[in-house]
Structure 1
């Protein structure tokens, strides 16, 4: 059965272009032109992915995302031309999984959608392990199987991308990763020179795990390369 995707976009020309392209990829796309209708559709059906524009009439995209996240962990790919709203959606507890800046190419959109759906299928279809795999660095603990992170025993509200970045660094504590390597490992996709996406996620992750995000101890910047785990 094809994956069902909910596209929330008030620009009908963009919506029709995206719908037509993804349906050629054997995906089922349902369209909502405003936030209120999107929430009604979401309540009535099960979706594998939400493609969400942030600039919507009436109920805006951030409010749609907040309400969706209050009851579901469905992957959300943001489509937006405003960096400030994208940063809010990716961090601050809103919980978006990824974003594409407008204007975007349909080839890149298709690649991002396939990568997200592939990861979601891996998470839901993987057999449960007898013992959880735990990664520990100083005050941080990451339960790999449960996709949960803790600091001093208190749970951290991390998004899926933040968890994957943290897992990558904690699994290789002495290795420095370039932005391209992080992108390929976390997004599971070809690198599109999208430095901003990585910087936004790392910045939000630091705000959640560091005592002082301005002087990070866990995620160190390696100038000219990328990031690595700090040493304790």
Structure 2
């Protein structure tokens, strides 16, 4: 049974999603404001956070940034429009995925199960990975321990950022399209869009590159996708 923190100010949406997810076997704690969500987060360890962007008081973007600054729980944001710039802003703030309102519980639950599989699957796979850390310039990737470091200093990555780096670095120099990354990292390429990949790449670059504008490790191959360097 997974623990879900639902932060949604609309009572009808909040109660409906809480009921639907509970019936699907999840333990759901639902709150109405960002302040309540952050308070709850500090006293509990949810497996997933489902976060509405448009909240009174502290909005969803700020809540997302604060969660990312202190924790690694996957974040699925709820947004009113799929083509809105809010989607990009939310992803850049640290969200792992998004669902467009009006929310279909079965779609949200599928996304929740996907992020839980990604987190659990990477941990299980770590035991079968090579035991010797890989060194790429000053970047070290320890697949067995799921530890990333630069010049000997650990780098804290969110689960999706870590999974993206591990996927890209499995074959340095190989170009992976956004579609391939959506399927291998997010596990729902047929439902996803390239903004998930691009925003996660930008977050990853901000943590492992000296100059994210001139990346060494996660390189763009214009018109095709991304590859891992240095070559």
Q: TM-score, normalised by structure 1?
A: 0.80
Give matches, 1:113-124, under 5 Å.
Answer: 113-122=112-121
Cα contact 2:64–2:90 (8 A) shared by 1:
no
1:58 equivalent in alignment to 2:62: no
1:135 equivalent in alignment to 2:134: yes
Q: Please name the residue that 1:160 is paired with.
A: 159
Cα contact 2:9–2:31 (8 A) shared by 1:
yes
1:188 equivalent in alignment to 2:187: yes
Which is worse superposed, 28-37 or 15-24?
Answer: 15-24
Structure 1 164/131 Cα, relative in aligned 2: closer, same or farther at 3 Å?
closer
Structure 1 191/141 Cα, relative in aligned 2: closer, same or farther at 3 Å?
farther
CA distance in 1, matches of 2:113, 2:71: 20
Structure 1 39/221 Cα, relative in aligned 2: closer, same or farther at 3 Å?
closer
Secondary structure of the structure 1 residue equivalent to 2:216: coil
- Give the deviation of 1:126 after TM superposition: 7.2
Aligned alpha-carbon RMSD (Å) = 3.0
Secondary structure of the structure 2 residue equivalent to 1:177: coil
CA distance in 2, matches of 1:130, 1:34: 41
- Give the deviation of 1:117 after TM superposition: 1.9
Q: TM-score, normalised by structure 2?
A: 0.80
Length, aligned pairs only: 226
Q: Point out where structure 2 has 5 or more consecutive residues left out of the alignment.
A: 81-85
Q: Please name the residue that 1:20 is paired with.
A: 19
Q: Please name the residue that 2:83 is paired with.
A: none
CA distance in 1, matches of 2:19, 2:228: 43
Cα contact 1:111–1:189 (8 A) shared by 2:
no
Secondary structure of the structure 1 residue equivalent to 2:176: strand
CA distance in 1, matches of 2:100, 2:138: 35
CA distance in 2, matches of 1:127, 1:229: 20
1:214 equivalent in alignment to 2:207: no
CA distance in 2, matches of 1:155, 1:102: 38
Q: Please name the residue that 1:6 is paired with.
A: 5
